[in-house]
């Protein structure tokens, strides 16, 4: 079975303005090299290319828009994400929702560029709906737990188990991740025990005093 993934969404925290994003991506890469863990960095769009070109771990975009190359000023096309060296993209994060009718198009355009896709879902019902778009991953994240101190794996383990079961039934080729409040190695281990193939997290690493230390703790059981 493939190694669990730990996806670190840098979001737009002040800590990752400018050089901060680079330093965090380097910490992700260093811990991945040291532990063999499958860590993916998700920097802000303005730093995507420089980070994707400089670190040896996969780098994903925080968002893509449903446009092919052409007249699409200011939008982020899957083609430009691929072109700058990134390996995948989040789609429909709860802080950057994509209209439902465009989600499938985003996945299609990403697949056409050989980008890995992670669709975020707030609940089991939307996770099942998005599984029909054939992403590589669906990340279930209850919005009310995002950025908080209690991990979804503690506050609502049922949503993780139910999403794993429902998505497996709907589309066996889609893997489920979970996120919101994930901060420790125990949280990650519980996520895996609940059937998730990894985690999507942010504040536990981005806002940590020692991001590399936080990452080492997060990956210690996987």
**What letter would DSSP give residue 178?**
E
Confirm whether 141 is a catalytic residue.
yes
The long-range contacts involving 106-110, CB below 8 angstroms and separated by at least 24 positions, are: 106/64, 106/65, 106/66, 106/78, 107/133, 107/134, 107/135, 109/64, 109/66, 109/67, 109/68, 109/77, 109/78, 109/79, 110/64, 110/78, 110/81
Instruction: Determine which one of 93, 95, 100, 104 is catalytic.
Output: 93
Cα(204)–Cα(9) distance, integer angstroms: 10
Window 179 to 218, contacts with ligand G3P (CB under 6 A): 179-182, 200-204
- By beta-carbon proximity to ligand G3P, the closer residue of 5 and 79 is 5
Instruction: Determine which one of 141, 144, 161, 165 is catalytic.
Output: 141
Q: Min. distance of Cβ 139 from ligand G3P in angstroms?
A: 7
- By beta-carbon proximity to ligand G3P, the closer residue of 144 and 161 is 144
**11, 69, 142, 148 from 200: Cα distances, Å:** 12, 29, 12, 14
Q: Min. distance of Cβ 145 from ligand G3P in angstroms?
A: 7
Confirm whether 93 is a catalytic residue.
yes
Binding mask 161-180 toward ligand G3P (x if CB under 6 A, else -) reads ------------------xx
- By beta-carbon proximity to ligand G3P, the closer residue of 136 and 141 is 141
User: How many CB atoms lie under 10 A from the CB of residue 106?
Assistant: 25
- By beta-carbon proximity to ligand G3P, the closer residue of 72 and 148 is 148
Window 135 to 164, contacts with ligand G3P (CB under 6 A): 141, 146-147
User: Which residues here bind ligand G3P, judged by CB under 6 A?
Assistant: 9, 93, 141, 146-147, 179-182, 200-204
The residues that are catalytic are: 93, 141
């Amino acid at each position: 079975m493939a190694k669990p993934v730990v996806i670190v969404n840098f979001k737009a925290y002040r800590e990752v303005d400018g050089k901060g994003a680079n330093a965090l991506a380097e910490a992700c890469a260093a811990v991945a090299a040291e532990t063999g863990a499958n860590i993916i960095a998700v920097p802000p769009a303005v730093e995507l290319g420089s980070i994707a070109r400089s670190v040896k771990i996969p780098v994903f975009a925080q968002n893509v828009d449903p446009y092919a190359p052409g007249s699409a000023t200011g939008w982020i096309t899957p083609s430009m994400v691929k072109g700058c060296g990134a390996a995948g993209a989040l789609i429909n994060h709860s802080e950057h929702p994509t209209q439902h009718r465009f989600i499938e198009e985003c996945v299609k355009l990403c697949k056409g560029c050989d980008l890995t896709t992670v669709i975020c879902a707030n609940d089991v019902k939307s996770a099942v709906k998005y599984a029909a778009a054939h992403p590589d991953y669906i990340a279930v994240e209850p919005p009310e737990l995002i950025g908080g101190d209690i991990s979804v794996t503690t506050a609502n383990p049922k949503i993780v188990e139910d999403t794993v079961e429902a998505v497996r039934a709907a589309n066996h080729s889609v893997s489920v991740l979970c996120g919101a409040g994930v901060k420790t190695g125990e949280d990650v281990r519980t996520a895996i025990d609940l059937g998730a193939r990894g985690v999507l997290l942010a504040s536990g690493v981005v806002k940590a005093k020692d991001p590399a230390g936080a990452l080492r703790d997060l990956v210690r059981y996987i």
